[in-house]
Structure 1
């Protein structure tokens, strides 16, 4: 008789008395079978903090993949977007190709430019959130102000601040609420807590003082807010990616722009050039930031194969420059020569600026940006590049150490963010251990996602998560996938807690310490990669390439975690339930699901080998 062929005669067979082999029915192993099926998953409550790219993806993937889940996504802002909601400064744009800055599963063939403007990126996120109905999980205008692990109840107690019902625009009032989470996923990032510069007299300035992350001139597009600035003298402090975008945006719209710079930076050669000309079969190399034509966008939208290949080529190119981050490599030497030549060419009208901005440190030691139009803007007659030390801000402008004074109407502080990952609220794990203490003098994590002593907590874009080259969003997706796999394991195996082992954190820390000295990131340059310091621990970047990170996060090492069971029965196989599946017990649903297209993996007909490592 074939296997399984007894189904039609089972009802005719009389029941036999149950016998138990000697020694099996011991008090140590016997327990009553539970009344749940193996796939009758217990409810689980997941809370995500942040509604940027990570939070929106969580609102899509968690309900898709986790059954019986109660999901809430909190964000302190009134809308989705994260850093792209918070930042609204002039010239805000993506600094990698737009078509590489989108979800892998949600293509946008309508990007307006090679480096998309910030508002367009936020609109993309809003469309994605609408399409996948993420808003039903969102609670906006809710700011996390405390997270405490309750060991007795094995959940996170969260404190949040929100506007009270009696609040008005003229008189905002706040109230505190509490929530709990079986699993907490934070997407707080490193570019969401901005800092004012420590400059004497800043508060005494009688004109307008703005921070790049708090551009409040207008609620609309930044150009509306500066349309009357034609007679304004504007000072921009900084030479990071924000300042490099703000200066060329403001320069043609104001009477004078003064860029106060204390450091040096590399500006990358514009990416597109010959590559764009080849992919689009047209000449785009003369444009600083290629603007896609209606013809381009129509082809992207209608010719799916062409768009797919275009996107893959851009991603492949973006993932081909990791070698430049290694000390002494040929790619590093080539990049240094090409970038220097490009910068000198653009500074031909004011060549002396090159003496103060072209670095001695290696390319990519600090965050690299293409900076379209920045150097050209500095060469205009109404632009001043100031390299001397600022002494103080006065009521009417900025005074330098050598006594010179710039009269200004507006001071813009493009001075960066708090990148220490030590959040300005209590974050408390087991036994009163605080994250602030755990991250002093620098963050120590497990693959950037978990911390020992903090059960059931996962991060996206936490310490050592960003990449020096490649797509950041594929990292976001893979980190979220990792967290979801942990949530699925907790449900499937009925676990109360999942906590990374201290020795696993120690070993990852040792890997970091060994890897980074071989890279340009450990050279002396001030960078948010090193918490704003010139030297020290690299806490911002993954220890390897983008592709390396994607591979590393693909399959969780469950042996690196400790677990506690959720049920009072201390048997590791209690989760097997009553010996059946829910669909069998209820005689509902699909009872041949293993034959569905999603489950069946048909091997290739001719050659069932992987060519990932190369084939003849």
Structure 2
């Protein structure tokens, strides 16, 4: 009896050692030995055939296109290449190199207003930052080095601009048109998954001022700086006191004869972030510091020391979320604390404090420490002008009070188009235009995707920026989420996925309700609200960066709708085989200690 059993097992083993072909039959096995009916035969009870001819762990090849090679595009490129098998990856970038905003913005004083040690990839810590607030060129070089280190350039195509993206429901693909900016030619491309990594602040714009382009002197925008122009000894007008205006003024001041600073909007300047960390380590009350060669050498040689310094800064950055929520003790104490800091820095011209202090609470507009800015305003070469600009003529600027101020150069530090509407034809299912869909205000699902746009994900889309915390952490975690979505597409034999409409509506309602309790909804003109005083908060994440980290950690698959290959939701389970069995490459390394989740022993 036992011999017969062993013989039967041997026969079964030999017959099953040959993998079935993809039409359901077994290669080399007589038809009479087939254990399952052919898909061409009628299955029992005339039910539709749902056993898909694929292994349960088989992944289908996917082409993924990323638009933009800034920070988000670099991190996305690294993670998709690392984590997604069978991927055909392409990154289109309109500029000549990586870096995005840090490649484009080259105005004097351009720097990050977040400490450099928290403005870096978690997986690529840099102990070599030369300044606490790193310059734009140093940040750009860091991200170029990261892109080179992790092999991103092999996937990137520069001076290539996506000018159209149309979803084809029959193909289940994004059909793209891409312009070669060197010769103006257009070529077509297709992809299964399309990712926008162009961010929200990439379309700079001139201010709407009558006669601006009649000016015969030098006219520049901070986002399109002419590095060849020599402004030494000139009279300069700087329009705008947002982040770029706050940085460019003190940087230009030493080299110019005079600056007219047009700053109608009142704004809060924050104290230096992590000031206590700097004081404890260096005994300094400076707003920015340059690290000595000896200090940099210690950081490079002693990783533990650098990690502690880095984590102390990160902890300080993450610890002040309560100041953004109305009515908390931290928020109520904020105005006096900020005002005292500004008063100290404006000590040479105390009258400027009344011109600058806003009526809205700190945080309604984006906060920046602005090292050196307030001190520069007290310089005798600077005139701060609160009067509205009426017009620009060939020689200068005329304000509403009739006063004309001649200048040699006008610097527009006036920001970007923050509507989030695409600048090119971008259409989803049934021809839905994203520009039309977001005409009134943009709506997303947790900032990463929107309904009617299958297999489309966004980095730093609407409601993705931060009013508090670490933006780089949010970027990384959002891209982790996207890779999980694409892995699900491959694993579950999905043709496309996109957020359900009701999930998008719930997130929109959630944002409106959440922001009503925060300082961001108070009356001030801010890009957080699309440049409006009373607009909806469409730029910010509804919570801290730590809150975003937890939100992105576990995707809610029930908030998406799906279409499956062959319209077969059962296709994920395959036909009983694994890829290793088909390839005769079975491994039992699941018994290795490092593959086993050993529970703790209770004594």
Structure 2 residue aligned with 1:262: 264
1:214-613 matches, cutoff 5 A: 214-218=224-228, 225-226=229-230, 229-278=231-280, 280=281, 282-285=282-285, 287-566=286-565, 568=566, 570-588=567-585, 591-595=587-591, 599-602=595-598
Q: Distance in 2 between matches of 1:130 and 1:273?
A: 33
Larger mean CA deviation between 317-326 and 333-342 belongs to: 333-342
Structure 1 598/258 Cα, relative in aligned 2: closer, same or farther at 3 Å? farther
Matching residue within 76, 87, 91 for 2:109: 91
Q: Distance in 1 between matches of 2:600 and 2:395?
A: 73
Residue 188 of structure 2 corresponds to residue 178 of structure 1 = yes
Q: Measure how far apart 1:217 and its partner are.
A: 2.7
Structure 1 351/603 Cα, relative in aligned 2: closer, same or farther at 3 Å? farther
Q: TM-score, normalised by structure 1?
A: 0.90
| CA contact 1:584–1:591 (8 Å) conserved in 2 | no
Structure 2 residue aligned with 1:194: 204
| CA contact 2:51–2:570 (8 Å) conserved in 1 | no
Q: Distance in 1 between matches of 2:7 and 2:447?
A: 55
| CA contact 1:184–1:457 (8 Å) conserved in 2 | yes
Structure 1 residue aligned with 2:26: none
Structure 1 unaligned runs (5+)? 1-5, 165-172, 219-224, 608-616
Q: Measure how far apart 1:328 and its partner are.
A: 2.0
Q: Measure how far apart 1:163 and its partner are.
A: 2.8
Structure 1 7/284 Cα, relative in aligned 2: closer, same or farther at 3 Å? farther
Q: Measure how far apart 1:604 and its partner are.
A: 5.7
Structure 1 151/207 Cα, relative in aligned 2: closer, same or farther at 3 Å? same
Residue 53 of structure 2 corresponds to residue 54 of structure 1 = no
Residue 167 of structure 2 corresponds to residue 149 of structure 1 = yes
Structure 1 261/19 Cα, relative in aligned 2: closer, same or farther at 3 Å? closer
| CA contact 2:166–2:427 (8 Å) conserved in 1 | yes
Q: Measure how far apart 1:596 and its partner are.
A: 6.1
Q: Distance in 2 between matches of 1:7 and 1:465?
A: 63
SS where residue 553 of structure 2 aligns? coil
| CA contact 1:325–1:332 (8 Å) conserved in 2 | yes
Q: Distance in 1 between matches of 2:452 and 2:75?
A: 27
C-alpha RMSD of matched pairs (Å): 2.2
Larger mean CA deviation between 473-482 and 458-467 belongs to: 473-482
Q: Residues 536-588 of structure 1, C-alpha deviation per residue, up to 9 Å, x if partnerless?
A: 1000101111111110111111111111112x3x4323233332322232233
Q: Residues 347-390 of structure 1, C-alpha deviation per residue, up to 9 Å, x if partnerless?
A: 11111211111111001000000000001111111111111111
| CA contact 1:272–1:284 (8 Å) conserved in 2 | no
Q: Measure how far apart 1:603 and its partner are.
A: 5.0
SS where residue 93 of structure 1 aligns? coil
Structure 1 residue aligned with 2:127: 109
Matching residue within 134, 152, 162 for 2:180: 162
Q: Measure how far apart 1:343 and its partner are.
A: 0.6
| CA contact 1:421–1:463 (8 Å) conserved in 2 | yes
Structure 1 residue aligned with 2:136: 118
| CA contact 1:45–1:69 (8 Å) conserved in 2 | yes
Structure 1 506/77 Cα, relative in aligned 2: closer, same or farther at 3 Å? same
Q: Distance in 1 between matches of 2:111 and 2:102?
A: 9
Q: Measure how far apart 1:599 and its partner are.
A: 4.4
| CA contact 2:274–2:313 (8 Å) conserved in 1 | no
Q: TM-score, normalised by structure 2?
A: 0.92
Q: Residues 158-210 of structure 1, C-alpha deviation per residue, up to 9 Å, x if partnerless?
A: 1121134xxxxxxxx41111111100010121110011000011111111100
Q: Distance in 1 between matches of 2:595 and 2:258?
A: 64
Structure 2 unaligned runs (5+)? 16-31
Structure 1 20/175 Cα, relative in aligned 2: closer, same or farther at 3 Å? closer
Structure 1 19/79 Cα, relative in aligned 2: closer, same or farther at 3 Å? closer
| CA contact 2:162–2:178 (8 Å) conserved in 1 | yes
Q: Measure how far apart 1:24 and its partner are.
A: 8.0
Q: Measure how far apart 1:296 and its partner are.
A: 2.1
| CA contact 1:86–1:192 (8 Å) conserved in 2 | no
Q: Measure how far apart 1:472 and its partner are.
A: 0.5
SS where residue 264 of structure 1 aligns? coil
Count of residues in correspondence between the two structures: 578
Structure 1 334/9 Cα, relative in aligned 2: closer, same or farther at 3 Å? farther
Q: Distance in 1 between matches of 2:519 and 2:349?
A: 29
Structure 1 30/159 Cα, relative in aligned 2: closer, same or farther at 3 Å? closer
Q: Distance in 2 between matches of 1:32 and 1:544?
A: 45
Q: Distance in 2 between matches of 1:45 and 1:19?
A: 36
Q: Measure how far apart 1:272 and its partner are.
A: 3.6
Q: Distance in 2 between matches of 1:318 and 1:7?
A: 68
Q: Distance in 1 between matches of 2:455 and 2:294?
A: 49
Matching residue within 17, 21, 26 for 2:45: 26
| CA contact 2:51–2:575 (8 Å) conserved in 1 | no
Q: Distance in 2 between matches of 1:423 and 1:199?
A: 24
Q: Residues 279-308 of structure 1, C-alpha deviation per residue, up to 9 Å, x if partnerless?
A: x3x3132x2202122222222212122222
